[in-house]
Amino acid sequence: MMPRRIVILGAGFGGLTTALELARRLRREPRAEVLLLDAHNFHLFSPMLHEVTSGSVEPRHVVWPIRGLGRRTRFTFERRQVRAIDLNARKIATDRDEIGYEYLVIALGSTTNYYGVRGAAERTFAFKTLPDAVRLRNHILEMFEQAVDERDPERRRRLLTFVLVGAGCTGVELATELHDLARRTLVRHYPVLAAGEVRIVLAEATGRIIPCVSDQLAALGLTKLREKGIEVRLHAPVVAVGDGLVEFQDGEKLTTDTVIWTAGVKATPVVEALPVEKDKLGRVIVNEHLEIPPFPGVFAIGDAAHSRDSRLQDALPPTAQVAMQQARAVAHNIARDLRGRTKEPFTYRHRGDLVSLGIGDGVGEIAGLAFSGLPAWLLWRSVFLAKLVGWKNRIRVALDWLVGAFFERDVAKLEW
């Protein structure tokens, strides 16, 4: 009998969790075959990317090789760049071959959304991948190296001004981490530069920061950022990014050699090209079973999907927490369907959110309880350490943090 093939696209939070859950649930189901595809042979733990940029955590410690996981469980991994999905023919076109499926889980994540802002895609630093984090780190170190030799005060100011666009969790966590790196470590290595010369500007189009937490915690976070000296600009949409400058809607122009885009995400081109109903971000609209109508057995989860939440009266946010819960629900329903049982609707259970605000500081909510300052930061570290894939990485990150508590961050600019 032909095996019943379940293909999962993307080995991020949603895809990898689906593969692991299916492998567990289908242990005694020899007719089912699980195939996981991704363009990279590793899983990236993106919530720690800002620590990679600041040098608190080593790049290799936030990635996990997928082939090692597949060897121990019951799924096959193949490295493939997915080019297109033919939902009618039930086939996936990849850079190497065409793959058929009986069940399909689309977990291809998202890509940076520049909202059509002039010059943003060409002239800003994206912050989504491991190379993005390392590239940004090298650039920041390069700015300090150049600033040391720069005699022209205007040019020096431009080199030491760092602008982040978008004050969601990613923008805020990165801004505070850059603040710690620049003001606590780099100025000690470059004594001719004064801490006050480093300017970190966080521009936000709306009237509040970190939308994932309550209004009170967001306001507290804002106060904390401003106390640290981070210049937060609310109601300040960026309308253009030029060569060495960023332009705001009110006409103000700020000169800088560093603009980091943390303003939002949209669907990847493969998902955007699907001939089904999508939202304005290009994400496919899924039903209560996370299936794409009218294609039974084809699911979309995580950042690739628009899944409505009755509590929010809106789409679920693009977070790892959502992707992983959806992955478990999809694995559960595929296993039920294979056994001839009816599928069950997905219900999202929000566990909370934690935002790190640099060393020893944070804000967040867990199970309805609010935290701030050191307790929030310690919770952030404990929760995310526990969520890292693999004990080897948990130990390596814990050791990175331990070393960071006693020694300065490494400021070597590694380039080959």
Ligand X SMILES: Cc1cc2nc3c(=O)[nH]c(=O)nc-3n(C[C@H](O)[C@H](O)[C@H](O)COP(=O)(O)OP(=O)(O)OC[C@H]3O[C@@H](n4cnc5c(N)ncnc54)[C@H](O)[C@@H]3O)c2cc1C
51 binds ligand X, rule: CB under 6 A: no
Contact call for residue 319 and ligand X (CB under 6 A): yes
- For tokens 């001719």, the residue is 192
- Residue 190 or 380: which CB sits closer to ligand X? 380
130 touching ligand X, by CB under 6 A? no
Q: Closest approach of Cβ 82 to ligand X, in Å?
A: 4
Q: In the complex, what is the shortest distance from the CB of residue 12 to ligand X, in angstroms, rounded to a whole number?
A: 2
Which one among 6, 8, 14, 166 touches ligand X, defined by CB under 6 A? 14
Nearest to 353 by CA among 390, 379, 374: 379
Nearest CA to 298 out of 7, 61, 1 is that of 7
Among 128, 179, 278, 343, binds ligand X (CB under 6 A): 128
Q: How many residues bind ligand X (CB under 6 A)?
A: 32
Residue 236: which of 205, 201, 202, 200 has the closest Cα? 205
Interaction of residue 134 with ligand X, rule CB under 6 A: no
Nearer to ligand X, 128 or 137 (CB): 128
Q: Residue from 75, 77, 114, 127 that binds ligand X (CB under 6 A)? A: 127
* Nearest CA-CA partner of 303 in 287, 288, 322, 286: 322
String of contacts with ligand X for each residue 93-122, x by CB under 6 A: --------------xxx-------------
Cis ω for the linkage preceding 293 (within 30 of 0): no
Burial of 387 (0-12, 13-18, 19+ CB in 10 A): middle
Nearer to ligand X, 111 or 159 (CB): 111
Q: Does 300 bind ligand X (CB under 6 A)?
A: no
Owner of token pair 């303003």: 263
Q: Is 321 in the site for ligand X (CB under 6 A)?
A: yes
The C-alpha atoms of residue 143 and residue 21 are separated, in whole angstroms, by: 45
Query: What is the Cα–Cα distance from 410 to 176, expressed in whole angstroms?
Result: 17
Minimum distance of ligand X from residue 241's CB (angstroms)? 20
Residue with smaller CB distance to ligand X, 14 or 158: 14
How far, in Å, are 81, 105, 109, 329, 330 from residue 14 at the CA level?
Answer: 17, 9, 8, 11, 10
Strand ranges inside 95-221, DSSP E: 98-100, 103-106, 110-112, 125-126, 161-165, 199-203
Per-residue mark of binding to ligand X, 151-170 (x: CB under 6 A): ------------------xx
Q: Counting contacts by CB under 6 A, is residue 318 touching ligand X?
A: yes
**Shortest Cβ 95–ligand X spacing (Å):** 8
Interface pick for ligand X out of 6, 7, 8, 15 (rule CB under 6 A): 15
Beta strands in 166-319 (DSSP E): 199-203, 231-233, 238-242, 245-248, 253-255, 258-261, 265-267, 284-285, 291-292, 295-300, 305-306, 308-309, 314-315
Query: 171: closest CA among 112, 131, 122, 118?
Result: 112
Interactions with ligand X, residue window 229-288 (CB under 6 A) = 268, 270
Q: Is 328 left (phi over 0), alpha (psi -120 to 50) or beta?
A: alpha
Per CB under 6 A, does 47 bind ligand X? yes
Considering the rule CB under 6 A, would residue 10 count as an interface residue with ligand X?
A: yes
Quick one: 204 or 303, whose CB is closer to ligand X?
303
Residue type, 169: C
Candidate residues 21, 33, 38, 361; the one interacting with ligand X per rule CB under 6 A: 38
Site string for ligand X, 18-37 (x = CB under 6 A): -------------------x
Question: Should residue 307 be labelled a site residue for ligand X when binding is judged by CB under 6 A?
Answer: no
Shortest distance (Å) from residue 7 CB to ligand X: 12
Any bridge partners for residue 43, and if so which? 64
Residue of closest CB approach to ligand X? 12
Q: How far is the CB of 299 from ligand X (least distance, A)?
A: 12
Beta carbons within 8 Å of 316's beta carbon, 6+ residues apart? 307, 308, 309, 322, 348
Q: Are 185 and 56 in contact (CB under 8 A)?
A: no
> What mask, x for binding ligand X by CB under 6 A, covers residues 53 to 92?
----------------------------xx----------
Q: List residues near ligand X by CB under 6 A.
A: 10-15, 37-40, 46-47, 49, 81-82, 107-109, 127-128, 169-170, 268, 270, 302-304, 318-321, 323
